[in-house]
Structure 1
Amino acid sequence: MKIFNFTLGQPDFPVTVTYYQPAAIADFNQPPRRPLVILLPGGGYRFYSDRENEIVALQYLAAGYAVAVVAYRLIDQPPVYPTALYQLAQVVAAFHRHAETYAIDAQRILLVGFSAGGHLAALYADLWPQLAQTCRVPSRDCAVQAVVLAYPVIGLRLGWPPDSATRQAISGTWDLTEADQLVTSQNPPAFVWTTATDELVPPQNAQAYVQALQHVGVPVAFHLYPRGPHALSLARSITAFPAGTDQDPTFGARYVEPEVATWFPAQLAWLQRVLG
């Protein structure tokens, strides 16, 4: 594996990308072009969660994907939108244009977003044709073939954030923040999951997006698990908080949910069917 850090985008909205490139296999006469995961960690638009960052990227690498982690705009430089969307469009376009350099298959690019990163991914999936025009990029270079959303924020009216100051820092004067209301037949297929007991981002977020996709005939797989807190990530011990975190000896254990952990192999199987 090789790891590269670089900056993409126009001067008005540069974005840092960490690219994880699988090592070439010497036995192969023709090195394969890998499918690409563009990974958008959560963190409430305040930070990038380490539990949804490199440790998740490594799981995709082990499954044969290349991974690009995007450090999109946060609320310490308000507003988040529309800059975060322009940044993401530039990243997608760059990997399309330089697919040979990055040894990826430009016809198998997908977005994977957690929580707030899921909001960005869902909005991008809705708006990519318009973003291509705004960023003066050929439409084909902004297309992605699938989206995976984990406990996503979908609309700022659906229970998160709880305060108007954060909403304003996210949206500013940008009024296209309700991803379920922006779905069209041009959206890529989606795999969406959340839990019924998510205490931070209500499951109605994911449900609203799934219903909107179904309404226009976009293929969608939806998993609503019966229990589990927000930000489960892989729902395994490798992404759980250490025991005793927050002065509660059971705190870390709540982030290990074997039933929820099935989401990762389930979406790999789904991606195989969607991407080929």
Structure 2
Amino acid sequence: MIKHKFVCGEPDFPVTVTFTQPAAIADFHVQPRRPLVILLPGGGYRFYSDRENEIVALQYLAQGFAVAVVQYRLVTNPPVLPTALIQLGMVVAEFHRHAAVYGISPDHILVAGFSAGGHLAALYADLWPLLSWDCHVATSNLKIAALALAYPVIGLRLGWPTDEATRVAITAKWPAHEADQLVTPQNPPTFIWTTADDETVPADNTERYTAALQRNGVPVTSKLYPHGPHGLSLARAVTAFPRKSASTGEQFIRPDVAEWFTNEMAWLDHLWHLNEFWLNQGG
């Protein structure tokens, strides 16, 4: 496995990226071009959740994907928007322009966001055609091929945040922060999931974004699981809180919800014809 950190973007909008890719399989005598996952962990725009960071990246790496985890702007350095969107655009453009260097396929870029990271991901999927001027790159270098959202914040009017101070720290006077109201037919195909009784980010967020995508003719696969708290991550014991730190750790083990990653990979397989993608490497 090859892993390194780098900083990209312009001086006013630097962004740190942790890039990881599996080592090439020597027997194949081919240096593959891998699909890329740009991963945006949640954390309420206050931190980057470790439960949605490397442990999730490893799942994609096991499928042969490269992964770039992005340290986008937080409320500790307000406002978050539009800086975080510009940072994300610069990361996408970096991989488009230097795809050969990173060994990735620029036609197979997935942005995956959890919770608040899902908010940023959804806004980017809505607004990417408009970011060319801010990112100083060609619009074609900002395009992504797919979007995956896990229990995402979609609109700041839809239950999170609950305090005005956080809302202001995220948006200041930036008006484009209600992702369900910004969807266009140019949005990428989307996989989205949440639980019906999410106590922090109501399921209404996911339902409204799904409906907006459908109205605009954007392919969407939406999964609403009946039960589970916010922040399930992999919904397995490995990402559940230990009893020593939280008495409710068992709630984060949901075998039915844990199927989300398998379902997402099946969706990507259908979307990208992954068997043919891998078999045609070096052709």
TM-score by length of 2: 0.95
How far is the alpha carbon of 1:275 from its aligned partner? 2.0
Determine the C-alpha separation between the residues in 2 that align with 1:85 and 1:95.
Answer: 16
Equivalent residue for 1:187?
187
Equivalent residue for 1:142?
142
Aligned to 1:44, the other structure's residue is in SS state coil
Aligned length: 273
How far is the alpha carbon of 1:274 from its aligned partner? 1.2
Encode CA deviations 1:119-164: one digit per residue, 9 max, x unaligned: 0000000000001232221111100000000000000000000000
Equivalent residue for 1:6?
6
Equivalent residue in structure 2 for 1:269, among 255, 266, 269: 266
Decide which moves more: 28-37 or 202-211: 28-37
Determine the C-alpha separation between the residues in 1 that align with 2:14 and 2:21.
Answer: 22
How far is the alpha carbon of 1:28 from its aligned partner? 1.4
Determine the C-alpha separation between the residues in 2 that align with 1:48 and 1:123.
Answer: 18
How far is the alpha carbon of 1:30 from its aligned partner? 2.0
Counterpart residue type for residue 258 of structure 2: A
Runs of at least 4 residues off by over 4 Å: none
Counterpart residue type for residue 52 of structure 2: E
CA contact (8 A) 1:109 1:144 kept: yes
How far is the alpha carbon of 1:255 from its aligned partner? 0.3
Aligned to 2:200, the other structure's residue is in SS state coil
Equivalent residue for 1:46?
46
Determine the C-alpha separation between the residues in 2 that align with 1:54 and 1:78.
Answer: 26
Encode CA deviations 1:90-137: one digit per residue, 9 max, x unaligned: 000000011001000010001000000000000000000001232221
How far is the alpha carbon of 1:32 from its aligned partner? 1.4
Counterpart residue type for residue 8 of structure 1: C
Determine the C-alpha separation between the residues in 1 that align with 2:114 and 2:146.
Answer: 15
CA contact (8 A) 2:24 2:30 kept: no
How far is the alpha carbon of 1:41 from its aligned partner? 0.0
Gaps of 5+ in 1: none
How far is the alpha carbon of 1:245 from its aligned partner? 2.3
Counterpart residue type for residue 14 of structure 1: P
Aligned to 2:5, the other structure's residue is in SS state strand
Encode CA deviations 1:190-246: one digit per residue, 9 max, x unaligned: 000000010000000011000000001000000000000000000001111112423
Encode CA deviations 1:60-84: one digit per residue, 9 max, x unaligned: 0001100000000000000000000
- 1:123 maps onto 2:123 in alignment: yes
Equivalent residue for 1:255?
252
Determine the C-alpha separation between the residues in 2 that align with 1:30 and 1:2.
Answer: 16
CA contact (8 A) 2:195 2:224 kept: yes
Aligned to 1:47, the other structure's residue is in SS state coil
- 1:30 maps onto 2:65 in alignment: no
CA contact (8 A) 1:92 1:142 kept: yes
Counterpart residue type for residue 58 of structure 2: L
Counterpart residue type for residue 272 of structure 1: D
TM-score by length of 1: 0.98
Determine the C-alpha separation between the residues in 2 that align with 1:244 and 1:57.
Answer: 25
Tell me how large the CA RMSD over aligned residues is: 0.7
Equivalent residue for 2:222?
222
Decide which moves more: 71-80 or 125-134: 125-134
Identity %: 64
